[in-house]
Structure 1
């Protein structure tokens, strides 16, 4: 179309584009009739569902309006659309609904769990643990308990087929067992014990037994979560006795955790952040035990379950123990936290509670202070704008709480000062 008006011979155009002479002449004639490049009329049925219809369908499908229903299937949605023609203007088939939804990769019927960060000090705690994994001391252990494992006895006999094993659905309960575990990060070996409970006396006895197996003058590091039993008065006294240091009685759990984390003794505990138990490597081993030892098994008693877990622990240590290669660095996590909080504020969801909001504001303030460069500037600008525009929504949640109000004011002032110092224009 460009060559023909310029005087280029049609034969040259055919040779250059390797197309037919008929095509060259047809497009050349279309250019002479109109300067616009418009598609000619085609045969076939006109489009029934335009883009605006698609958008209305998607909006309705992703926000199920039926009372008591969180989501609906394609067939339910089709039935509802055909009963209420005014929504999209005409009847529709299930295949069309499925095609429109699938084209946008939308799956509103799927529900998955996630664990959001709520600890204001999550990132410095996470970095400390990652540093331990990168440069582990000689004696580094991960301590945790797999609690409430059910001893289920299948009523029927399992069936072995060419495609796997079939197990009876019906079962009989025989109570639960806990499995206490301390994993050596350097070797991957696990010191474990099956118990009927994980009360503080049981935990301290198990912990003391492991410490006594280590060299008497060695500095021992233990990574554990924030379970109440990991910071009891009894555990603190035991750690002090095993370390040969005095213990000043402390009433608050937070004070006891700080004392357990201090490096003024040879036994040092490192606590994961709240909602950060996945940073404990022994959780990986619990997953392996669940797949290799517990899945599909039938246990006639709690003792049989305990023996099975103990036997698996011994098998692991003898044949399969190996250190896990830790590769997680936390990259991108700070940006995800800021983006998700911004999205929640935009939605103005009624599930946002004051305590949760206060923790998020403190968390974002800490990110602003220590991890500003890890979050793109656009994310900070979006958050600042949403905070400034969501005054009524936030005040409704705060409801006069001075601590939450102060956290909000401090964050807004910090963001404004940060933008002003960098001469950023926030629209």
Structure 2
């Protein structure tokens, strides 16, 4: 075989999916994750030197795993057998652990624990955990999903993503949504500050001093946010927020507003307002697809950095904190970068639908 540095490394779709899964591992199988990232970088057309610089490793390591993959594909990334104590766990026991984990549950429970499965198979709990790690199994974890039933799913994805990746000329694009029922929570005891060796401590119970709704419009080009606090989020409140966006946007620009399918966004009072303001155009996200609205990413930052650990002794304190947060954000605003094309998103949804529509489901 010729010099591996001169051979193109091309991945099949299945190989890429497997490698991407391995590359995401953080706490287990670190060696395998690193090798997967090396191969994925090589498949992007980079040479060994460029891959080594990107992944902060040496060129010899990149060359070794590139060559091993070209020779043996995915099997080449596994560790070679090493000398040591003979194995005490048979292949049949490994298979039993994997099969029981995937196809059975213990009586009276929803999933296996390592101790329950160890007793059933006749090996140690540590061995069960090692097998789970080797096969990427985590029976204690669960995730939720929802496939949008929107009949216009594809059209709406193309519409919204098109505004992110190729916004119209002479136009402002805003990602808009409400964060309702933000609570002004006061802890029942003073927060104990962090000291060396001890994290910040707070009482688990609280006193609630009321709630407020926040309307937010994220300018996808600049990252700046227009915010408005309201006691409710009715159609008339949304209409008033559109007025606020209108006042703060250059009158010479068309305005594209991305929002979800809340009934208040489609109410007659809003429709009447839009007819009186023809420069505004509303674009609706697919049903159950808030992930495509960029302002949700901003709400996540607001929750993590302002609200989650905030202590507010009154509704006024909460409102002041929200206004200050928006002001601080806008002083150093930068836009979120959208990278996925509409075709990539649609292809991924189709692959996921294929998986959950198989015989096992």
TM-score clears 0.5: yes
Whether 1:307 aligns to 2:307 is no
**Distance in 1, Cα, partners of 2:175 & 2:350:** 30
Q: Which residue of 2 aligns with 1:70?
A: 110
Quick one: distance in 1 between partners of 2:130 and 2:261? 47
* Alignment RMSD: 2.5
The residue number in structure 1 matching 2:178 is 145
Q: Against the structure 1 CA distance between its residues 68 and 183, is the aligned structure 2 distance closer, same or farther, given a 3 Å change threshold?
A: same
What corresponds to 2:196 in structure 1?
Answer: 162
Q: Following the alignment from structure 1 to structure 2, what is the Cα–Cα distance between the partners of residues 218 and 129? A: 18
Q: CA deviation at 1:67?
A: 4.4
| Counterpart-to-counterpart distance in 1, 2:212 and 2:108 | 38
Quote how far apart the aligned CAs of 1:309 are: 0.9
Would the aligned equivalents of 2:97 and 2:117 in 1 still touch at CA under 8 Å? no
- The equivalent residue for 1:221 is 256
Structure-2 separation of matches of 1:175 and 1:72:
43
Greater CA radius of gyration, 1 or 2? 1
1:193 to 228, 244, 258: 228
Q: What are the residue-to-residue correspondences of 1:5-404 with 2, within 5 Å? A: 48-79=88-119, 81=120, 88=121, 91-137=122-168, 138-160=171-193, 161-162=195-196, 164-216=199-251, 218-241=253-276, 243=277, 265-317=278-330, 319-330=331-342, 332-347=344-359, 349=361
CA–CA separation in structure 2 for the residues paired with 1:43 and 1:279 = 52
> Structure 1 residues 278 and 339 mapped into 2: Cα distance closer, same or farther (>3 Å)?
closer
Q: Secondary structure at the match of 1:322?
A: coil
**3-state SS of the aligned residue for 2:185?**
strand
CA contact (8 A) 1:145 1:179 kept: yes
Runs (4 or more) in structure 1 with deviation over 6 Å come to: 42-45
Report the CA distance between 1:181 and its aligned residue. 0.8
TM-superposition CA deviations, 1:243-283 (whole Å, max 9, x none): 2xxxxxxxxxxxxxxxxxxxxx3211111122322222212
Q: Normalising by structure 1, report the TM-score.
A: 0.59
- More displaced 10-residue stretch of structure 1: 206-215 or 50-59: 206-215
Aligned partner of 1:19 in structure 2 is none
Does the CA-based 8 Å contact 2:105-2:112 persist in structure 1?
no
* 1:126 shift after superposition: 1.5
Q: Distance in 2 between matches of 1:148 and 1:332?
A: 35
Q: Which runs of 5+ in 2 are unaligned?
A: 1-82
**Distance across 2 between alignment mates of 1:215 and 1:102:** 55
In structure 1, what is the Cα distance between the partners aligned to 2:327 and 2:287? 31
Q: 1:344 to 1:322 in 2, by over 3 A?
A: closer
